[in-house]
Amino acid sequence: MFTVECARGYNHTIKSYDVLEIPYKKWLLILELGENFGWQPTGTVFSERIDRLREQLPLDKQDYEPRDWYWSKIFMEDDALALAEVLKAYLKHGNIESNKNFIKKISKFLSGDKSKTFTVHSELDEKYIKTIIEFLLRGEFQFAFDD
């Protein structure tokens, strides 16, 4: 199974390197959950090293699809904070395990699409989402497939 490694260097508050490893399937589910509840992704950026190669290579995919560390992307601070806020609102307004009807209503309201439904993913429990939120609230980070 592939893992997405999210990292931002040494964190003096937690006294270690600030790294979070997310199984690829959960990475996709978190992004989907965020978008279904109103997160509007602004796109990722490549590191300066990769930007220098942009003229030689067709690097126009500033999406959230991880690559290997050589082609890592940066999840910008504003984007991370916005996703964290959406996930916090999701936890506050809907019980993940038992309130599926409310969750569907909220997602339809936020998306503006009355025909759209949202599938609750049992892989994303409240504790796991809180871990993601805590990481996102610390701001910008690089991400790539772990090797």
> What DSSP letter does each residue of the chain carry, written as one string?
--EEEEEEEEETTTTEEEEEEEEHHHHHHHHHHHHHTT------EE-HHHHHHTTTS-----SS----GGG-EEE-HHHHHHHHHHHHHHHHH--TTT-HHHHHHHHHHHHT-TT---PPPTTS-HHHHHHHHHHHTT--EEEEE--
- Over residues 18-27, the mean pLDDT reads 94
Structure confidence by residue, pLDDT tens digits, 62-85: 789 998 888 888 999 999 999 999
Structure confidence by residue, pLDDT tens digits, 95-129: 454 445 445 555 555 555 544 444 445 568 889 99
Q: Which residue has the higher pLDDT, 20 or 122?
A: 20
Query: pTM for this structure?
Result: 0.76
pLDDT at 117: 43
pLDDT at 4: 97
